[in-house]
Structure 1
């Protein structure tokens, strides 16, 4: 083997190097950004000790182009020494030399990577005549400068990434949680903290739904004060629910852009302001306008909480957590008429229905300001990145959430209209939301039906006539117990047997039970509503409606959240959007239905509709996996 030390003469032959055997700390798969210049010269002009073939490697990864590669791949000039194979010698400068092999290696590398475009510095300047084999007395002197890309296999071994140094450096600027057990991640919070946050979410939601129904007891009284008909006074509730229609389309993307806390505190404060405006209104026009804006801003917690629960609870625990959310959704509408009836018929008057709602809302707002944390991981990491930028002066640090394009048109297209697109393009979202919306609309329809059955037909006063709503509430608590038992004793073990993953269809059996009880409750309440029959059977029918309502509502919500976990807020928004439309329209149907059909047949009509819609959970239990396989948005698995 030839010796390159000064003072030694080099032989005209040298072993041929094999390209895969270069002794480099960072192996080379291919070389990007090369400039190869060749020219002939007389070997006699070459100073003694000068190698006939030399490689100067320059790395342009970190510190700008022109920085030499060192021991770590950056910063120190270093030679590449070829490993020679014993007994295999060839002439320097011949086509079989390692120079020619290098050219062939580069050509093959570029051919195997057609997707990698050449940079501006990548030139292969070579005269065609010089590509012919050179004479023995000729040699090549090459100056090779360029950017080396370490092999993916070595990067995978050294860095565990399998990416280029440029990509590695870029990834190092992305802020993530410190580990899988990082306590900053809401999924790693203690059970106590999760439970407290869930309780605050539920209480905030209840204050919203409570405000929607408490005004139903004031309709008769403010109608007398302003000379309004019964159908017109229904607007006091319906316009509030109408605000729930556009609300989710606003608050769902806001919560996924700026976080759950932001999308709750601000809207709840404005909601409280409009509640006070309703309480001091001097004409019905002011009442109706302020009630609409109450609903618009009160829809924020109803929309956001579903995503907040998905932020904290894993699939096994989420079912029980959603129970509390569902109870909050139904507790507000059922307690509102009872408390509102007591206030409206007392010396306090109908305006105190709004003052009581304002007191509850302000109390909840104070608790949220003090205790409600941010649960959206993307926003938590964005704030962490901002802190690190200030403390380390590394201004490139950022979260993945900050890489999202802030284009208003695309924001409106991808976020504001996403709930509508889900309803229009996702069969599961469409059908489950339709069923949930019907059950939710029935709940608000009861605000008009129960007074007809117990106050008009039986002659009960406003307070006593609202007590059957307690039957609905009791039914909801029974359903909550059923859901918790299912999650604990059936769904939980199933999840463990499947390695922590379960099909969303395992959420549907409670919904299937509810779909059987739902029409049964209507038939029982309707055909026992005659004043000659004791009140208990009809109240029992409303209890069955309460049981079925929560079973259907919660199981459907769990099913959609499990299927669209990363789009939980938008999924809940689509659900809230459509069910709010039903809640707006169905109360207007109470008076004509019960007047023209009678209580028995009006309830039976609703029972038959519930019987038809009750087929949805059975259909999805069988065909759900096939529908998910065709979905472009689905996040779960078959």
Structure 2
């Protein structure tokens, strides 16, 4: 009896809940936890401090518990983020790496339909639409690590199917499944950022994690063009298999679980067994309606759709991101053709034309990484020390204005056959603007829904991937009808029409968010 009581005293498992910024905040338990009981009628009866564990609640041992991912050493946090970011580069690389080599695949399979050939490339993004809606909720039930690991290996295996395909139908199916697996790192990265980093570091962390989804599609055509030209189109997938397999082996060895509710659930199960107690409950499940695994899964799966349908902020920002992402892939439909036909580049060299956008991505990344968190700290101080997620958005206004420049610059210089370096430089503003739009939106969504950051990011990813998959299919007919100059100008005017969105949300975002709140929690008892 004494041994059991001592164990209860030493395990002061203080319950921890998510604060407004997603960090794990220690509640004030002094008012409710310090109780002295005295047995009657003996006045000298022993006294003890009632702890959370004695009441059947399991949480972190303290605010400084080293098992809490928010308290991991800085080196460990950045190393975990780097692992996920590395695979987040490889997966989007696969989305566009095949693009320059598709002509060689078409010749081998005797496929001349341009729409089918384009669809064999963009089908990967349909996998990006389906995958996040399944994987994000699963990660909030079973944890980030197991879901990320399973999905990454799923992506790796389907590269073999792509490389060994004997017809275009098989290739399309294999690319669809590869896209579903490859979406995990893009989807769950937002959750890992919320798990590990406090508000004041999320801008920098999101900048690092966002490099892959934005730079990967640009680097892909450069490598894919030379591989298709010098070796064969199948080697695009063999290279992806080798790179992704090696990277996932490293992730398998070094990755750790970071989702706090799952870690506390594991701790609860362990203590229940060690202490032989059946009354222990996770601090994250207090006062919640007991649900079966099937009910939990059902409610988790509808969260991304719930956000899109009930939150005007998520819907409009998802739409804006989808438009910009679709414009990126419309760029991709013309670049290779323009530089091979108009400027006489080989297929391999035409991939180098993507460097204009790539350099813009890098510059935009540096600007956001160096300024976003500083601006948030300054605005928080001016707001009496109270942080608001909308403080992420003011920088978007400038970048949204920069983004449309490229369509007029690139479109008309390519249309008039100006020296080849000029249209390449013309793509630079788009890269800067796109990075400056994407990263504040992603960080803003993480700050708004830290406990369900993966599901919130799934809504963003699914929407933009759907548009990125189908919009480029209309690219060739549009440019054939309007020409490069007016076709790109139309896209530029469309991008200009969306410039007021960041202005509206910077000014009225808080009122909109508070007027239409979305309850993502499970029902209470």
Whether the TM-score (by the shorter chain) exceeds 0.5 is yes
Aligned runs of 1:508-519 on 2, under 5 Å?
508-519=393-404
2:489 counterpart of 1:616: no
Shift of 1:612: 0.9
2:100 counterpart of 1:223: no
Task: Please state which structure has a larger fraction of its residues in strand.
Answer: 1
Corresponding residue of 1:329: 213
CA contact (8 A) 1:382 1:402 kept: no
Corresponding residue of 1:266: 150
Q: Which runs of 5+ in 1 are unaligned?
A: 1-70, 81-157, 160-164
Per-residue CA deviation, residues 284-316 of structure 1 (Å, 9 max, x unaligned), is 111011111111111111111101101111111
Decide whether aligned partners of structure 1 residues 626 and 534 sit closer, same or farther in structure 2, where only a CA change above 3 A counts.
same
Decide whether aligned partners of structure 1 residues 496 and 199 sit closer, same or farther in structure 2, where only a CA change above 3 A counts.
farther
Separation of aligned partners in 2, 1:416 and 1:169: 32
What secondary structure is seen at the aligned counterpart in 1 of 2:279?
coil
TM-score by length of 1: 0.72
In the alignment, which of 342, 345, 356 is matched to residue 229 of structure 2?
345
Corresponding residue of 1:289: 173
TM-score by length of 2: 0.87
Please identify the structure whose Cα radius of gyration is greater.
Answer: 1
CA contact (8 A) 1:338 1:466 kept: yes
CA contact (8 A) 1:483 1:551 kept: yes
Separation of aligned partners in 1, 2:100 and 2:338: 15
Separation of aligned partners in 2, 1:463 and 1:253: 40
Decide whether aligned partners of structure 1 residues 315 and 613 sit closer, same or farther in structure 2, where only a CA change above 3 A counts.
same
Shift of 1:199: 0.7
Per-residue CA deviation, residues 528-582 of structure 1 (Å, 9 max, x unaligned), is 1136312222112211111111111111111222122222111101001100111
In the alignment, which of 180, 186, 199 is matched to residue 63 of structure 2?
180
Separation of aligned partners in 2, 1:610 and 1:281: 39
CA contact (8 A) 1:628 1:634 kept: no
What secondary structure is seen at the aligned counterpart in 1 of 2:461?
helix
2:161 counterpart of 1:277: yes
In the alignment, which of 507, 514, 523 is matched to residue 408 of structure 2?
523
Corresponding residue of 2:454: 569
CA contact (8 A) 1:379 1:401 kept: no
What secondary structure is seen at the aligned counterpart in 2 of 1:216?
coil
Aligned runs of 1:436-475 on 2, under 5 Å?
436-475=321-360
In the alignment, which of 507, 520, 537 is matched to residue 422 of structure 2?
537
Decide whether aligned partners of structure 1 residues 78 and 333 sit closer, same or farther in structure 2, where only a CA change above 3 A counts.
same
Decide whether aligned partners of structure 1 residues 554 and 413 sit closer, same or farther in structure 2, where only a CA change above 3 A counts.
same
Corresponding residue of 2:9: none
2:200 counterpart of 1:237: no
2:137 counterpart of 1:253: yes
CA contact (8 A) 2:342 2:417 kept: no
RMSD: 2.3
Shift of 1:223: 0.5
In the alignment, which of 229, 232, 252 is matched to residue 369 of structure 1?
252
2:270 counterpart of 1:307: no
2:356 counterpart of 1:393: no
Corresponding residue of 2:4: none
Per-residue CA deviation, residues 366-423 of structure 1 (Å, 9 max, x unaligned), is 1111111111111111222222233333343332456764436643542212111211
Aligned runs of 1:419-430 on 2, under 5 Å?
419-430=304-315
Separation of aligned partners in 2, 1:249 and 1:520: 34
Separation of aligned partners in 2, 1:233 and 1:79: 87
Structure with the larger RCO, 1 or 2 (CA within 8 Å, 6+ apart):
2
CA contact (8 A) 1:457 1:531 kept: no
Separation of aligned partners in 2, 1:527 and 1:254: 47
2:509 counterpart of 1:546: no
Separation of aligned partners in 2, 1:547 and 1:484: 13
Shift of 1:77: 4.4
CA contact (8 A) 1:220 1:230 kept: no
Separation of aligned partners in 2, 1:411 and 1:464: 51
2:469 counterpart of 1:584: yes
CA contact (8 A) 2:158 2:175 kept: yes
Corresponding residue of 2:489: 604
In the alignment, which of 41, 46, 49 is matched to residue 78 of structure 1?
41
Shift of 1:192: 1.0
Shift of 1:172: 2.8
Shift of 1:78: 2.5
Q: How many pairs were matched up?
A: 480
Shift of 1:634: 7.3
Separation of aligned partners in 1, 2:108 and 2:54: 67
CA contact (8 A) 1:281 1:287 kept: yes
What secondary structure is seen at the aligned counterpart in 2 of 1:532?
coil
Separation of aligned partners in 2, 1:408 and 1:386: 16
CA contact (8 A) 2:204 2:369 kept: yes
Task: Please state which structure has a larger fraction of its residues in helix.
Answer: 2
Separation of aligned partners in 1, 2:211 and 2:175: 24
Decide whether aligned partners of structure 1 residues 499 and 196 sit closer, same or farther in structure 2, where only a CA change above 3 A counts.
farther
Shift of 1:498: 4.9
Corresponding residue of 1:384: 267
CA contact (8 A) 1:212 1:241 kept: yes
Decide whether aligned partners of structure 1 residues 79 and 489 sit closer, same or farther in structure 2, where only a CA change above 3 A counts.
closer
Corresponding residue of 1:53: none
CA contact (8 A) 2:87 2:185 kept: yes
Separation of aligned partners in 2, 1:478 and 1:284: 38
CA contact (8 A) 1:458 1:531 kept: no
Corresponding residue of 2:242: 359
CA contact (8 A) 1:440 1:579 kept: yes
Shift of 1:459: 2.0
Decide whether aligned partners of structure 1 residues 418 and 171 sit closer, same or farther in structure 2, where only a CA change above 3 A counts.
farther
CA contact (8 A) 2:203 2:443 kept: yes
Corresponding residue of 2:20: none
Shift of 1:509: 2.0
Separation of aligned partners in 2, 1:587 and 1:275: 23
CA contact (8 A) 2:138 2:297 kept: no
